[in-house]
């Protein structure tokens, strides 16, 4: 090969190498994401500042810490900025995430993107971003609408509440609800008359706003709640077949009829998430103790109705407590679609994790045959499925199933996972159905 041809070949190879290197260097990073403070921000209950749909407002107190959560699906660098304005003077704000504290100063009177700097994400999971006011010469530190994030850690996506369409700032703050859908033997699936379940709430997991639902079925649900610091309830509700969120609009022919109730049970109607008949009793259940739930369905083909009755007790007690008995029109079916769920109904506690242990499930068919239920499918609500919150989990723990949600923990369990708990290895509960109240 001549010197001239050799030189031309080397030049061509060098050009190819440079082009490849430039292509690799210029591989685009994912676009910056805008994380609305209105749907992803949190304040302590005693804070003076407010988080509204538009974002953070009235941030005047230096002691108020603003917390924003989002989840990355990869490791790498993340550049963080805030979209904010400072109505008066100049403010200095610190941002702390994954052990790194960044500081920026702004005096922008219009909404502007203020860069804070980079953090390093070592593994996929939730990132907690804390904002603190350092100094201000005006009345407020800043009004903040969004946290902006960009970088390699976002190449596989991110989980956060993206907008308020469908009122998701509210639902996002409540957090994801999770369910156990029980596997009933095919030979009995259309004839289950009784369903028995137990729940233990581990100590420290009884957060305000939690509903530990034990006995769910196609027409209603039954479980226990933490309603406030000094009130807890056992709740049993039946949906009307008339679809509405306003119970007053239900025609008389489709109303849920109360047949009987326990001496301490209060009854009424409910709305907003479907409508129907509701019953509850204030009951001081305790974390660490185990409680039993028993529900019966009595279909009446001639009337085309079903009578649903639920009972409750501490497993250490011999006596069942009647909660209520309702008649539901346009049904005439046994218990179908048996499931349990864990739900937070208090938006201001959606940053706290909670867990329930569901155990010793049994179904009894119309012939009196008992079936131990050891299999369940894990599912979650729309907030989880839309990838706005990913702090949800479930599984088995020996002879128990468990459900866990909220609190922005990182180890989630895939929706649709099948669980199988160990058999309790003992006979079914001894219940004299003829002596129930």
CA 129 to chain centre: 20
Q: Which residues pair with 91 in a beta bridge?
A: 106, 136
| Strands in 240-319 per DSSP E | 257-261, 266-270, 276-282, 290-300, 305-314
Q: Summarize pLDDT for 185-237 with one digit per residue, the tens.
A: 999 999 999 999 999 999 999 999 999 999 999 999 999 999 999 999 999 99
Q: How far is CA 91 from the centre of its chain?
A: 36
- State the pLDDT confidence band at 13, using cuts at 50, 70 and 90: very low
Q: Which helix (H) or strand (E) holds 12?
A: helix 3-25
Examine domains 33-160 and 174-435 and report if their fold is the same.
yes
Q: What is the CATH number of domain 33-160?
A: 2.60.120.260
pLDDT tier for residue 6 given thresholds of 50, 70 and 90: very low
| C-alpha span between 69 and 64 (Å, rounded) | 16
Task: Go through the chain and tell me how many residues it has.
Answer: 437
Domain ranges of the chain: 33-160, 174-435
The class of domain 174-435 in CATH terms is: mainly beta
Using the CB atoms, write b or e for 295-312: b if 16+ within 10 Å: bbbebeeeeebbbbbbbb
Q: What H or E segment, with its residue span, contains residue 126?
A: strand 125-136
With beta carbons less than 8 A apart as the criterion, state whether 275 and 288 touch: no
- For the stretch 28-69, pLDDT in tens is 556 789 999 999 999 999 999 999 999 999 999 999 999 999
What backbone phi and psi angles, to 5 degrees, belong to 87?
A: -60, -35
**pLDDT tens-place string over residues 316-370:** 999 999 999 999 999 999 999 999 999 999 999 999 999 999 999 999 999 999 9
Diameter of the chain by CA atoms? Answer: 106
In tens, the pLDDT along 400-429 reads 999 999 999 999 999 999 999 999 999 999
Q: Is the pLDDT of residue 269 over 90?
A: no
Reduce the DSSP state of residue 220 to 3 states and report it: strand
């Amino acid at each position: 090969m001549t010197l001239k041809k050799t030189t031309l070949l080397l030049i061509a190879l060098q050009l190819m190498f440079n082009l490849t290197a430039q292509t690799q260097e210029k591989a685009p990073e994912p676009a910056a994401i805008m994380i609305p403070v209105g749907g992803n921000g949190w304040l302590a209950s005693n804070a003076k500042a407010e988080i509204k749909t538009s974002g953070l407002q009235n941030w005047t107190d230096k002691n108020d810490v603003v917390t924003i959560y989002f989840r990355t699906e990869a490791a790498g660098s993340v550049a963080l900025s805030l979209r904010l304005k400072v109505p008066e003077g100049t403010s200095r704000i610190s941002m702390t995430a994954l052990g790194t504290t960044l500081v920026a100063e702004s005096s922008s009177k219009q909404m502007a993107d203020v860069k804070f700097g980079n953090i390093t994400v070592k593994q996929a999971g939730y990132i907690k971003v804390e904002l603190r006011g350092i100094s201000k010469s005006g009345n407020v530190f800043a009004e903040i609408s969004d946290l902006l994030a960009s970088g390699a850690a976002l190449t596989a996506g991110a989980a956060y509440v993206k907008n308020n369409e469908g009122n998701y700032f509210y639902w996002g703050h409540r957090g994801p609800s999770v369910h156990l859908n029980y596997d009933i033997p095919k030979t009995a699936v259309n004839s289950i008359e009784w369903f028995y379940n137990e729940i233990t709430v581990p100590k420290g997991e009884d957060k305000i706003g939690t509903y530990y639902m034990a006995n769910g079925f196609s027409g209603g649900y039954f479980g226990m709640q933490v309603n406030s610091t000094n009130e807890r309830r056992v709740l049993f509700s039946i949906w009307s077949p008339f679809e509405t969120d306003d119970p007053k609009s239900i025609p008389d022919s489709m109303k849920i009829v109360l047949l009987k109730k326990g001496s301490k049970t209060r009854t009424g109607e409910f709305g907003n998430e479907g409508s129907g008949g509701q019953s509850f009793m204030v009951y001081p259940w305790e974390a660490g103790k185990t409680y039993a739930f028993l529900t019966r369905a009595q279909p009446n083909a001639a009337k085309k109705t079903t009578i649903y009755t639920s009972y409750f007790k501490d497993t250490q007690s011999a006596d069942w407590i009647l909660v209520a008995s309702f008649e539901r029109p346009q049904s005439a079916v046994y218990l179908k679609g048996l499931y349990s769920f864990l739900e937070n109904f208090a938006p201001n506690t959606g940053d706290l994790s909670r867990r329930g242990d569901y155990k010793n499930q049994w179904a009894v068919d119309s012939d009196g045959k008992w079936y131990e239920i050891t299999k369940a499918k894990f599912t979650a609500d729309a907030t989880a499925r839309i990838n706005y919150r990913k702090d949800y989990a479930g599984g088995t723990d020996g002879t128990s199933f468990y459900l866990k949600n909220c609190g922005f923990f990182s180890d989630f369990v895939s929706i649709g996972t099948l669980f199988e708990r160990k058999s309790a290895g003992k006979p079914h509960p001894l219940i004299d159905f003829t002596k129930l109240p």
